[in-house]
A and B are shown apart, each in its own frame.
Chain A
Amino acid sequence: MTNKVFSKRKLGYLPFLLPSLAGVLIFTFLPFADSLRRSFCTAVTGDFVGVNNYKAVFSNEAFRLAVKNTAKFVGICLPLLISVSFLAAYALSRLKYIRLIKSVLLFPLAVPTAALVLVWQILFSDTGYINNILTSHGHSAVSFLGSSASFRVLVGSYIWKNLGYTVLLWLTGIMSVSTAVIDAAKVDGANDRQILFRIILPELKPTLYTITIISFLNSFKVFREAYLVAGAYPDRHIYLLQHLFNNWFVNMDLDKMAAAAVIVFAVILGAIVLLRKAWDKEEQL
């Protein structure tokens, strides 16, 4: 039956898909293919220059700094967010009244960055409130936005914003582990630790996969906090790839932008494919 319905209208899907597909092609896909071509040409004349743009990008000091900071940021934030949120979700999974806690943790997701810009400045400026507390207790003031401490502040704001999201995902994963299996293990004399490591954690690999991808992609959105609080040229410890793209755009360094966009695209695509492969392999075993 199903086949008959489908074979009758082979192109029946087209009118449904076309508006979206046309838009995606015009605004994203084709232009991106075009910037792939551009990455091998000069910006002004359009002459073919081979990998020159790529060489220029890789030897660019700002690019190296931005890559280093972005990699460091992702490398610290991902494990931190994933483990903290797992601990929180595991603790929550054993409590009864968690609705309110969930809502509170999720709430920062709804808060526009701009609405808190001044609050962050009041808290973290050199003459801000936290330094007020520090100095009145005899510590020396810390330059939260103008030194290596800025990196930690940015990590903190990322965790603050994304904790609820990730806890929610973990919680769903933990709740979906069959209680029958856990009860059976308990009857057999397994303790909490054994249940956690032998039963719950192995079941959560798919959750881990999706949390990793989503947290990675959200990590690019800290640009909003970094840019709005600290400006286009923040302390060098939090100068990220996003700042670099923005500044190259303002200066119309289009050929460098094209090459750098292709590089970042390739790295992200590679990471997604690798993660997916690693995950599929686990699945088959």
Chain B
Amino acid sequence: MTEKLRVSSVYIVMAIICVIVMFPLLLAVILPLQASDELAGTLSPLIKFNGDYSKIDYIAQYPTLDNFKELLLYTPDFYRVFWNSFLITGSILLFQTLAAIPAAWAFARFKFKGRKLLFDIYIIFMLIPFQVTMLSQYLVIDCMKLMNTRLAVILPAIFSTFPVFLIYRGFADIPRDVADSARIDGANEWQVLRYIGLPLGRSGILACVVLSFLDLWNMVEQPLTFLKNKRLYPLSLYLPMLGADSGAILLSAAIVTLIPAVFVFVIGQEELEQGIIASALKE
């Protein structure tokens, strides 16, 4: 009986924690569904400072999709920014995976001189925060005359070392004999990668894509540093620029920004968890 009581009290505590964690997201979902005069009670105290405090109506009086209509029909800017985000995230994801898969294969399958040292360097640069390499990356990009272009954000990110590390974890688990036997049957190393590495390392690659997507969709530091032209900004910088004055638009744009991330989170949760666990394993 006491055991039962203890278990249910743990469930209750966990439920409370979950409610707290989800609370800001709940607000993000319910607020954009409110009509502008109702929303004014929440937003105008942030702008006008007339002694009022922000109120929140948890149940909208007249739930409406007007804010989304306004965003999607009368805010052409939003499409451009969404396209920026999509282009930046998509091209980084594609090319970093293409560069990382063979590199991870080289680290997992070959024994060469300096392999250990080189891999350590990869790990260290994976762990270094952006601010430390910010200046050096800027100098290269400036030298290539790429400042203030999307490529300035895309190129350095393609060669992030994190994907190499994560995909390597997947490849390292493939038994040697399996790959070697394919070599003996006459396959060259690229074919071994294609027909054995890719299928068996699939979960590592997917994990990397999911984790990278979530991070890239939320990219702040790099575009802030390398893009001066606000027309090139991705969603992660454009939304905060709107400010509370255009709160209704901001809130509905936030939901549209959330949708791809939630979608990837839901379909990729298994891979995401594996990726987190794999990224934590010691080399």
Chain B 243-283 interface 0/1 with A at a Cβ cutoff of 8 Å (1 = within) = 01001001100110110011011000100110011011110
CB pair A214–B279 under 8 Å, yes or no, is: yes
CB pair A16–B280 under 8 Å, yes or no, is: no
Any chain B CB within 8 A of the CB of A178? Answer: no
What is the total number of residues of chain B having a CB less than 8 Å from a CB of chain A? 101
Any chain B CB within 8 A of the CB of A177? Answer: no
Q: Provide the bound-state CA to CA distance between A101 and B262, in Å.
A: 16
Any chain B CB within 8 A of the CB of A58? Answer: no
Any chain A CB within 8 A of the CB of B125? Answer: yes
Interface of A is mostly: helix
User: Shortest beta-carbon distance, A30 to chain B, in Å?
Assistant: 8
**CB contacts between A and B, total, < 8 Å:** 281
Any chain B CB within 8 A of the CB of A196? Answer: no
CB pair B132–A265 under 8 Å, yes or no, is: yes
User: Shortest beta-carbon distance, A123 to chain B, in Å?
Assistant: 7
CB pair B132–A224 under 8 Å, yes or no, is: no
What is the total number of residues of chain A having a CB less than 8 Å from a CB of chain B? 98
**Interface segment, A49-57, A125-133, A147-155?**
A125-133
CB pair A110–B280 under 8 Å, yes or no, is: no
Q: Provide the bound-state CA to CA distance between A105 and B111, in Å.
A: 40
User: Shortest beta-carbon distance, A134 to chain B, in Å?
Assistant: 9
Q: Which residues of chain B are within 8 angstroms of A35 by Cβ–Cβ distance?
A: 135-136, 139
CB pair A24–B161 under 8 Å, yes or no, is: yes
State whether A112 and B257 are in contact (beta carbons under 8 Å apart), knowing that A20-B100, A32-B136, A104-B21 are contacts in the complex: yes
CB pair B214–A110 under 8 Å, yes or no, is: yes
**Interface segment, A75-83, A91-99, A182-190?**
A91-99
Partner of B106, one of A13, A213, A217, A258: A13
CB pair B128–A111 under 8 Å, yes or no, is: no
CB pair A116–B254 under 8 Å, yes or no, is: yes
CB pair A111–B240 under 8 Å, yes or no, is: no
User: Shortest beta-carbon distance, B97 to chain A, in Å?
Assistant: 11
Report which B residues bind A (CB closer than 8 A): 7, 10-11, 13-14, 17-18, 21-22, 24-25, 27-28, 31, 42-43, 45-46, 49, 52-56, 98-100, 102-103, 105-107, 109-112, 118, 121-122, 124-125, 127-140, 155-156, 158-159, 161, 164, 176, 180, 183-184, 189, 193, 214, 217-218, 220-221, 224-225, 235-240, 244, 247, 250-251, 254-255, 257-258, 261-262, 264-265, 269, 272-273, 276-277, 279-282
Would you mind naming 23 contact pairs between A and B with Cβ atoms under 8 Å apart? Answer: A12-B110, A16-B189, A19-B98, A27-B140, A34-B136, A88-B14, A94-B7, A108-B21, A111-B261, A113-B236, A114-B240, A115-B239, A115-B255, A127-B53, A131-B53, A132-B55, A168-B277, A172-B277, A220-B129, A224-B218, A224-B220, A224-B221, A242-B131
